[in-house]
Amino acid sequence: MSQGRLYIVATPIGNLEDITLRAIETLKKVDYIACEDTEHSLKLLNHYEIKKPLISYWSEKEKVRAEEIIEKIRSGHSVALITDAGTPGISDPGAVVIGRAIEEGIELIPIPGVTALITALSISGLPTEEFTFIGFLPVKQSQRKKKLLELSIEKRTLVFYEAPHRILQTLEDMLDVFGDRVCCVARELTKMFEEVLRGRLSEVIEKLENSKIAGEYVIVIEGAHETTQSFEEALIEVKDLMKKGKGRKEAVRIVAELYGLSKKELYEKSLKMDEIQ
pLDDT of residue 229: 58
In angstroms, the CA 56 to CA 67 distance is 12
For 143-161, how does the pLDDT look when each residue is reduced to its tens digit (9 = 90+)? 999 999 889 888 899 999 9
CATH 3.40.1010.10, applies to 5-114: yes
For 90-122, how does the pLDDT look when each residue is reduced to its tens digit (9 = 90+)? 999 999 999 999 999 999 999 999 999 999 999
CB 214 within 8 A of CB 193: yes
**For the whole prediction, is pTM greater than 0.85?**
no
* 186: confidence class by pLDDT, cuts 50, 70, 90: very high
3-class DSSP assignment, residue 185? strand
Nearest-5° angle of CA 97, CA 63, CA 23?
A: 30
* 227: confidence class by pLDDT, cuts 50, 70, 90: low
Residue 46: exposed, middle, or buried by beta-carbon count in 10 A (0-12, 13-18, 19+)?
exposed
DSSP helix, strand, coil percent of the chain (3-state; round to 5): 45, 20, 35
For 194-204, how does the pLDDT look when each residue is reduced to its tens digit (9 = 90+)? 999 999 999 99
* 260: confidence class by pLDDT, cuts 50, 70, 90: confident
Q: Which fold has domain 117-221?
A: 3.30.950
* 276: confidence class by pLDDT, cuts 50, 70, 90: low
Write out the H or E segment, with its range, that includes residue 79: strand 79-81
In angstroms, the CA 23 to CA 76 distance is 21
